[in-house]
């Protein structure tokens, strides 16, 4: 991914993090998806008093993009502080849309801390249902 595009994606994830609803954990996370046409779709984590009902930023962004009619993603940036990689559920959610999606995680308070993987590297033995054309 071009460094200018990556920076725009990182900025979008950092801005989404500012909108997170995290009154319980105080752990705010933002995510931004890069679509093939260059559009960016953002999401943030939203907690709930019934903890299991919380949604992570990555899944929030993907659900928004799917609602908009998108099914292909080039990359996703994840902003947290400290730096954190996607949880297991989010890894499975991301890889559902491809094993070559670039995943960029960074510390939004110290942008020098950054890690990069592909979705397949983060979840090498992902679950696949086996329906042809399901993706």
In Å, how far are 9, 30, 88, 95 from 37, measured between CA atoms? 13, 21, 28, 20
pLDDT at 82: 97
pLDDT at 125: 86
pTM of the complete model: 0.93
Report phi then psi at 69, rounded to 5. 100, 10
pLDDT at 135: 52
Residue 18 tokens read as 């500012």
Catalytic residue IDs: 58
pLDDT at 127: 87
| All structural domains of the chain | 3-122 (3.40.140.10)
pLDDT tens profile 85-117: 999 999 999 999 999 999 999 999 999 999 999
Q: In what order do the strands lie in the sheet with 75-80?
A: 40-44, 30-34, 75-80, 102-107, 110-118
The per-residue pLDDT string of the chain (135 residues; one tens digit each, 9 = 90 and over) reads: 899 999 999 999 999 999 999 999 999 999 999 999 999 999 999 999 999 999 999 999 999 999 999 999 999 999 999 999 999 999 999 999 999 999 999 999 999 999 999 999 999 988 888 755 555
């Amino acid at each position: 991914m071009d460094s200018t595009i990556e920076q725009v994606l990182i900025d979008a994830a950092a801005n989404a993090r500012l909108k997170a609803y995290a009154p319980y954990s105080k752990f705010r996370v933002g995510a931004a998806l890069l679509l093939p046409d260059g559009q960016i779709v953002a999401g943030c984590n939203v907690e709930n008093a019934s903890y299991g009902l919380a949604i992570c930023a990555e899944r929030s962004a993907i659900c928004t993009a799917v609602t908009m009619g998108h099914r292909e993603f080039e990359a996703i940036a994840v902003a947290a502080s400290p730096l954190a990689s996607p949880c297991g559920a989010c890894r499975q959610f991301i890889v559902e849309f491809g094993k070559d999606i670039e995943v960029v995680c960074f510390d939004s308070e110290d942008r020098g801390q950054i890690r990069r993987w592909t979705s397949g590297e983060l979840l090498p033995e992902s679950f696949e249902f086996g329906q042809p054309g399901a993706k």
